[in-house]
Amino acid sequence: MSAEFGQFAAEAASPATGATVSVHGLAHRYGELTAIERLDLEVPPGRVLGLVGPSGCGKSTLLELIAGLREPSGGAIEVAGGGSAAERLAQCAFMPQRDLLLPWLSAIDNAALALRNRGVRRGAAREEAGRLFERFGLAGFERARPAELSGGMRQRVAFLRTLVAGKPVLALDEPFAALDAITRAEMQGWLAAALRADPRTVVLVSHDVEEALYLADRVAVLSARPGRVVEQLDTPAPRAPDRDAAVTAPEFVAARERAMAALHRGSR
Amino acid sequence: MRRVLLPIVALAALVALWQVAASSGLLAEAFNVESFLVPSPAEIASALWENRALIAENAWVTLQEILLGFLCGLAVGLAFGFLLRPFETLRLSFHPLIVGSQAIPIIVFAPILVVWFGYGIGPKLAVVALVCFFPIAVATADGLRSVDPEAAKMMRSLDASRSQLLWRLEAPSALPFTFSGAKIGVTFAPIAAVFGEWVGADSGLGHLILQDNAQLETARVFAAAFVLSAMAIALYGLLALAERRVVTWR
């Protein structure tokens, strides 16, 4: 384990804050097409792993495999020691690329979906989700319909919906891809703060190297199809409170160049 | 405002044109018939007024057939839509049959229905339901299938069971589709009710039209047809209103 992980050692020690995700010799095929081949990854509890790679390298497939939404063609994935898709599904909360908030529900009812699905009564579910609205700067927007919210706000609600599920592992599929550059930078700072306050094990897919390097403790660069890990690098200032300063620091720029070089190697 | 005003102006112009053409005898001349066979809008309006009790009485019979038949069609349409969604085999087996059922001209079926169900309200309900159920079933099934697969993954990841997936995601997504199907169905319902009455009935607007036509009471035929159209438009409007109250997110 690298020294950079040390900053979050205290939180990582608590079992409530995450579970280990491990991927060994993973392979996945769609018919004739090999999407993923001989892939190994390990995410310790409470850590954030960023996955970057060229389009079509199978990053989203990998995320769905980890989250228990698919069974792999070969190899093993374990989340908190559970290997079957159902066991992984029980441990992971998946956040898709688009917010996909249900337009007929208010923001708070969207956020409380997982609780409602588990049979929690509406009032209690709203109360629990409402506490997170207070904590994460969404107070006052509880009763707004998704159509009344800005893109960034919708993405916040979608993230809270994932968080409220109360699972140790979050699987985030390019959560900010649909946002404009300024909102995206804002949301990265917001997500970093949220994860500092409520640490989980996170697997974050991104097409934005800078985003992955800022939010993750470690970034795995995947190759073009069939997806394999080209390089893993530890990040210099994961989720640092001052995002703008962090991403312009010399170590960060160096890390980005290394990641870009790995991306180019893997794209060939 | 223009959206309301322009159709009204266009309609008024057409009615005025008709009035002039009919009262001047131009229309009768063109059709080569007696002028009392080509009523003007004013004559139709006065027929409507003078026979208001008779028309209202028969309209009520037809309205009941339409409403009850539509409700039956809605129930059957929803049942088909929902049953065809989760069971792929059932869908593949029955979808072509349902579409095929619409190719059978209802007017051919109606006499058989009278043989089966008698002269009461039964065969009329059956004809109306048969016409209404199709657009509702197809639209509902399509609506249930239209759900974004990513949203379904998100729901599964948030611990939704199969039935929660259906009721919390798929059914609300299908609701606007079902409304579209119902609106199409309800506009056809008055025609279906009239077909049902033409085969065998002793009351209803369809029955009245048939009788008046035989007695060359053309003004009353038009008056009854006017009431039928008004009912179709009103029912469509009611459904559109209900849709706006229920589907608030569009």
Give me the residue spans of the domains in chain A: 14-100+167-267
Does residue A202 or residue B33 have the better pLDDT?
A: A202
Distance from CA of A255 to the nearest CA of B (A): 33
Distance from CA of B184 to the nearest CA of A (A): 24
Residue A4's φ and ψ, nearest 5 degrees, are -60, -25
Whichever domain contains B130, its CATH number is 1.10.3720.10
**DSSP result, A33-88:** EEEEEEEEEEE-TT-EEEEE-STTSSHHHHHHHHTTSS--SEEEEEETTB-SHHHH
On whether both B45 and B12 belong to a single domain, the answer is no
Considering CB atoms only, which of B154, B172, B250 is closest to A96? B154
Q: To the nearest 5 percent, what fractions of chain A are helix, strand and coil?
A: 45, 20, 35
Measure the N-to-C terminal CA separation of chain A; round to a whole number of Å.
Answer: 30
CB contact under 8 A, A69 and B160: no
**B184-220 residue pLDDT tens:** 999 999 999 999 998 888 899 999 999 998 898 899 9
On whether both B217 and B178 belong to a single domain, the answer is yes
Does residue B176 or residue B91 have the better pLDDT?
A: B176
Q: Are A108 and A129 in contact (CB under 8 A)?
A: yes
A9 has a pLDDT exceeding 90: no
% chain A with pLDDT above 90: 69
Residues B74-78, mean pLDDT to the nearest whole number: 95
Does residue A203 or residue B34 have the better pLDDT?
A: A203
Q: From the CB of residue B238, how many other CB atoms can be counted at a distance below 10 Å? A: 12
Q: Which has the closest alpha carbon to A150: A179, A172, A126? A: A179
pLDDT given for residue A5 in this prediction: 39
Does residue A161 or residue B1 have the better pLDDT?
A: A161
Distance from chain centroid for Cα B212:
23
* Cβ-based neighbours of A39, under 8 Å, separated by 6 or more: A23, A25, A26, A27, A62, A75, A222, A227, A228, A229
On whether both B161 and B235 belong to a single domain, the answer is yes
Tally the domains of chain B.
2
Complex prediction ipTM? 0.86
On whether both B28 and B55 belong to a single domain, the answer is no
A2 has a pLDDT exceeding 70: no
On whether both B27 and B46 belong to a single domain, the answer is no
On whether both B45 and B97 belong to a single domain, the answer is yes
A91 has a pLDDT exceeding 90: yes
pLDDT given for residue B84 in this prediction: 79
On whether both B77 and B149 belong to a single domain, the answer is yes
Report whether CATH 3.40.50.2300 matches the domain A14-100+167-267: no
**A48-89 residue pLDDT tens:** 999 999 888 888 999 999 999 999 999 999 999 888 999 999
pLDDT given for residue B23 in this prediction: 86
CB contact under 8 A, A69 and B156: yes
A40 has a pLDDT exceeding 90: yes
Confidence band, pLDDT 50/70/90 cuts, at residue A16: low
Q: Residue type at B56?
A: A
**A213-263 residue pLDDT tens:** 999 999 999 998 888 899 999 999 899 999 999 999 999 999 999 999 999
On whether both B132 and B188 belong to a single domain, the answer is yes
On whether both B138 and B219 belong to a single domain, the answer is yes
Distance from CA of B140 to the nearest CA of A (A): 18
Does residue B2 or residue B13 have the better pLDDT?
A: B13
CB contact under 8 A, A165 and B154: no
Considering CB atoms only, which of A96, A102, A104 is closest to B153? A96
Q: Are A30 and A199 in contact (CB under 8 A)?
A: no
Which domain covers residue B134, as residue numbers? 39-246
pLDDT given for residue A12 in this prediction: 35
Which pTM value belongs to this model? Answer: 0.83
Which of B150, B153, B158, B178 to mutate against chain A (most A CBs within 10 Å)? B158
Q: Which residues of B touch A (CB under 8 A)?
A: 148, 150-151, 153-161, 164, 168-169, 172, 247-250
A92 and chain B in contact, CB less than 8 A? yes
